[in-house]
Amino acid sequence: LDHPRSRKSPCHQRIQAMSSYSHGAVYNPVGAAKEIKEPGPCCPRVYISPPHYIQGPSVIESLGRYCAQILYAKKVGVLIPEFLNGMYGEVIAKSLTEAGVTGKTEMFGGIPSRQEIARVGAAWKSEGIDAVVAVGGGSCADCGKGVAFDLKIHTVVVSTQSATDAPCSALSIIYTAEGAYEGGQVYPQSPNVVVVDTNIVASAPRRSLISGFGDALSTYYEARTCWENPKALTMCEARPTATGYAIGEKSAQMLYDNAEASLKAVDAKKPDEALEMVVEANTLLSGIGFESGGLAASHAVAQALSWVHSVHDNHLHGEMVSFGLLTMLCMEETAGLKGRTEEKQKVGEFLQRVGLPITWEQVHFDSSNQSDWDTFIKVALQQWFCHNEPFPVTADIIKAAFTKADEFGRSIKDKHGDAPYQAIHKKK
C-alpha cells in the first residue's frame, strides 16, 4: 500500500479493483458485494504469497540465474527508472547474459498509469517476453505487475528499498498520466519472484527503512483484529488464515527485536543480521500479513491522512500508518478490547525510539483546519477495511480515537523527547 508522494498525486482515495479480476468475485461473491463487506455463504480462508522470495547481499548479481532456472525464461523485459539503470543496469545485463537470458530494457516513466502500462506492454508485446523484471520502488513494481498481467506472463520484482510491503503484494496502485490517484488493481497471483538485495537496501536512505517499520508493525495488530472478528475480511475479501495471522505476529516481533540495531547497518551502509531480519519483516512478512491477515482502522486512518495535503506533502506511507496504528489501538482500548492499553504503551514507545510520528504536530496535521478534519473522517469511513473492527466505526469514534492518540503521543514525547524524530526530519 504505497504512498503517492513522488507521483504528483494530490491524495489517495479508497482502494477499489480497477481490473476485470476481483478477489471478492472469486472467493466471496455474495459477502464482498455488500455495502459493508462481510463473509458470505461458504466464504473460505485464503492465503496468497509470492512463491519465491530471495533476499541477501549481492543477490541482484544472480538475477539472470533466477529468471532462467526458476521461471525458465529465455527473454525478459527489464523495467527500470533511468537513474537506477545508471547504477545497476550493467550488473543486471551481465547477470542475464551469463544465464543465457536476453534482456529488453524500457525506462520507467515514473508514474504507474494505465498509459505507462500500455506503452511498456506495447513495446514488448511482439518481443516474445517470458517475464517482466521491475527494478526499483513501489511505483515501478506496480507498473511492472500491470504489464505482466496484461501480457499474461511472469512477474519479477527487484526491490531497491524496504519502505513498504508492496513488492510481495498482488496489487498495484494506479494513477492517471498526470499523477492523480485512479484506483487499485488486484491480480490473481502475487509476483512470481521477489528479489531484495540488502547491499542496496543498506545504501538507501534510513528514513525509507524506518517508514517500513511503521507499515510492518501495524500488520500484526490489524491481522489480530481481523482474526478476532468473525465478520472481518482480508484484502483477498475472504477470511484470514492462521498462517497469515502468525506471519503478521512474527513481523512485529522481528521489528521489536531488531529495528534499532538495524539502523547501525544503514548508517554503515553494510548489511548485518539485524538488517536482514527487519528487511524480511518489512517486505515479506508484512506483505503476506496484510493481504492474508487483513487490514483494519490503522490503514484506514493512513489512507485518510494521505488526503490531507499537509500530511501527504511531508510523509511516507509507513509514517502515516504509524499514527494510524496508535489511533486504532486507542479506538480499540476505548471499546474495551483486551490488552490494548499495554500494547498501546509498547507501540508508542517503539515508534518514539525509531523516530516515527506519534503526535499531530509530528505528522503535520493541523487540528484547527475544519476542512482537513472533514476530509480525513470522510475518507477514513470510506475505506471498507475500516469496518473490520469488531464494533461499528463512526465519525465520532474516529475523531475521539485520533484525538486520544495525539494526547497519548504527546505524553510519550514529553517523557522521552523527540530526538529520533528530529534526526530524520531536521532541515538541512
Q: In angstroms, rounded to a whole number, what is the distance separating the alpha carbons of residues 137 and 148?
A: 17
- Alpha-carbon span 397 to 377, nearest angstrom: 10
Q: What integer is the mean pLDDT of 11-27? A: 65
The pLDDT, as a whole number, for residue 175 is 84
pLDDT of residue 14: 38
Burial readout 86-109 (b: 16 or more C-beta within 10 A, e: otherwise): eebbeebbebbeebebebebbebb
**Tell me, what DSSP letter sits at residue 387?**
G
Summary mean pLDDT of the chain? 93
- pLDDT at position 11, please? 35
Confidence (pLDDT) at 17 = 38
For the entire predicted model, the pTM comes to 0.92
Counting residues of the chain whose pLDDT is more than 90, the rounded percentage is 89
What is the pLDDT confidence band of residue 173, given thresholds at 50, 70 and 90? confident
Q: How far apart are CA 70 and CA 133, in angstroms?
A: 13
Any idea which of 19-28, 38-47, 69-78, 284-293 has the lowest mean pLDDT?
Answer: 19-28
Q: What is the dihedral of CA 325, 331, 334, 336, to 10 degrees?
A: -80
Residues 144 and 33: their CA atoms lie apart, in Å, by 29
If pLDDT is split at 50, 70 and 90, which confidence band does 72 have? very high
Say which amino acid occupies 151: L
Q: HSE-up of 184 (CA within 13 Å, CB side)?
A: 20
Q: What share of the chain is helix, strand, coil (3-state, %, to 5)?
A: 55, 10, 35
The model's pLDDT over 355-400, given as tens digits with 9 standing for 90+, comes to 999 999 999 999 999 999 999 999 999 999 999 999 999 999 999 9
Q: In this model, does residue 180 exceed pLDDT 80? A: no
